């Protein structure tokens, strides 16, 4: 069956089956992922302050706070496996990546192999693939997670672990230049710091980060 025919069948199925928008609960109709109103509210913005930098500097791209439609969309992608959301959220992020960052590759934050087997996919990788397509650069699984640990988002702030050394550089080749690290949510910044450390230690020139919410 051809790609266009599959797309049309998918659109027909979406139109016939009542489905609520993960972001607001309205009916999706033929839309994939999020309704038109929730899509229109996705605005990428560059942040200058985070634990990833010792001083103010444009380096972190987000779609806003981890609340409302963004929180519900992330949870639907991550726990309800609504994978089509990765395309919507990733495209919104790709539209906001500054040209001056000169990103040469997109790198997803990896899950530990045991966690990925349990979930069946890595939501950061799905987002990263869409971002890479939008930027016209490769998506490279350049990192490995060596410590399983607990999910940071489900721990209280005082209990969140220090993840230094939890990631290491894999064997996948990266082009020279800056890379864009991608995850779904930025909480304390420990995950981003550990990944950034591993990338910089391997010779990457500059690391920026993109997340759906913070």
pLDDT tens readout for residues 53-91: 999 999 999 999 999 999 999 999 999 999 999 999 999
Taking 70 as the threshold, does the pLDDT of residue 207 lie above it? yes
Distances (CA, A) of 155 to 79, 142, 150, 185, 194: 17, 27, 8, 14, 18
pTM of the model as a whole: 0.86
Taking 80 as the threshold, does the pLDDT of residue 5 lie above it? no
Label residue 52 by pLDDT band (50, 70, 90): very high
Distance, in Å, from the CA atom of 81 to the CA atom of 126, rounded to the nearest integer, reads: 11
What is the reported pLDDT for 30?
A: 81
Taking 50 as the threshold, does the pLDDT of residue 158 lie above it? no
Question: pLDDT tens-digit profile of 106-131?
Answer: 999 999 988 888 888 999 999 999 99
Mean pLDDT of the chain: 89
Distance, in Å, from the CA atom of 67 to the CA atom of 47, rounded to the nearest integer, reads: 17
CB atoms within 10 A of CB 65: 10
* 134-148 mean pLDDT: 94
Percent helix, strand, coil in the chain (nearest 5)? 40, 15, 45
Q: Please give the distance of CA 209 from its chain centroid, rounded to a whole number.
A: 9
Which ranges in the chain belong to alpha helices (H)?
A: 3-16, 36-40, 68-79, 84-94, 113-119, 123-135, 190-201
What is the reported pLDDT for 159?
A: 42
Q: Which has the higher per-residue pLDDT, 198 or 161?
A: 198
What is the reported pLDDT for 126?
A: 98
DSSP-derived pairing of the beta strands 103-108 and 178-185: parallel
Tell whether the torsion through CA atoms of 165, 60, 92 and 19 is positive or negative.
positive
């Amino acid at each position: 069956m051809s790609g266009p025919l599959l797309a049309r069948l998918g659109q027909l199925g979406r139109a016939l089956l009542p489905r609520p928008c993960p972001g607001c609960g309205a009916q999706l109709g033929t839309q994939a992922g999020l309704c038109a109103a929730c899509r229109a509210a996705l605005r990428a913005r560059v942040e200058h302050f985070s634990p990833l930098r010792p001083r103010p500097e444009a380096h972190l791209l987000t779609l806003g706070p981890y609340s409302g439609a963004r929180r519900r969309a992330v949870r639907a992608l991550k726990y309800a496996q609504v994978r089509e959301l990765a395309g919507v959220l990733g495209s919104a992020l790709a539209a906001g990546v500054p040209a001056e960052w000169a990103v040469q590759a997109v790198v997803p934050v990896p899950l530990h192999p045991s966690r990925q087997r349990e979930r069946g996919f890595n939501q950061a990788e799905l987002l990263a693939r869409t971002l890479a397509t939008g930027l016209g650069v490769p998506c490279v699984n350049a990192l490995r997670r060596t410590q399983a640990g607990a999910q940071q988002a489900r721990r209280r702030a005082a209990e969140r672990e220090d993840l230094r050394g939890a990631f290491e550089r894999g064997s996948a080749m990266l082009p020279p230049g800056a890379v864009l690290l991608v995850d779904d949510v930025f909480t304390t910044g420990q995950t981003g710091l550990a990944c950034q450390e591993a990338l910089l230690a391997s010779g990457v020139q500059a690391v920026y980060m993109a997340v759906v919410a913070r």
